[in-house]
Chains A and B, each alone.
Chain A
């Protein structure tokens, strides 16, 4: 079945440092989504990427979708304590309703 690998599992950064999480799929994806889950909370949709090579920005967050549509990344510039949480990628194959989630990257920000 489809597998989505996400690294690293944990990341501790000093406030102000940058952060990147990477997502790799075993199959070509139709689209990929990113979610953020705060401690004790539920996943909240951040963005969806659809096109090969697509890059989208949301303030300090930059999302990329690989040319082969099998990998993606989320980069946060100058982290803040409000960025704390677990970031998940979730990929969908063409013709499938199912979203397969990565195991997430838990980000801790040290003030």
Chain B
């Protein structure tokens, strides 16, 4: 089991460029999400999905798109990168969609460090 795999690990973009952060999980989890982590701000939810074909916005969705065509994959697209999107991005997955459950562990990927210049 690889768990949650994110690529790339590091990326430098120029302002205005677009790119996709990839996220894949091999645990057959229904729930997947993207967070960004900035110094002093903790983890903020960008978008999430409770299953294939279903996505919803989190706390900070502007400037990002997601899709969920399969259970395994949940890519995050930056449409036109801005310096304010410089951050560390984490993809996470869990089973049961976050409902009350004794087995409701959230697994995080190792992170993608993005710099927009």
Contact = CB atoms under 8 A, between A and B. Distances in A.
Interface string A67-111: 000000000000000000000101010001111111110000000
Contacts of B56: 97
Interface string B28-46: 0001010100001111110
Contact of B97 (A30, A42, A97, A103): A97
Nearest to A33: B106
Nearest to B103: A48
A99 B90 contact: no
A99 B59 contact: no
Interface residues of B, number: 27
A45 B106 contact: yes
Nearest to B4: A42
B104 A48 contact: yes
Nearest to B92: A43
B59 to A, nearest CB: 7
Contacts of A97: 31, 48, 50, 56, 97-98
B100 interface: yes
Contacts of B102: 48
B44 A101 contact: yes
Interface in B33-74: 33, 35, 40-45, 48, 50, 56, 58-59
Given A43-B90, A50-B100, A99 B45 contact: yes
Contacts of B110: 41-42
B42 A101 contact: yes
B100 to A, nearest CB: 6
A86 B42 CA distance: 10
B59 A103 contact: no
A9 B40 contact: yes
Among A42, A88, A90, A104, residue most surrounded by chain B Cβ atoms (within 10 Å): A42
Given A44-B108, A100-B59, 5 more contacts: A9-B40, A35-B106, A96-B98, A97-B97, A98-B48
6 contacts: A42-B90, A50-B100, A99-B45, A99-B98, A103-B40, A103-B42
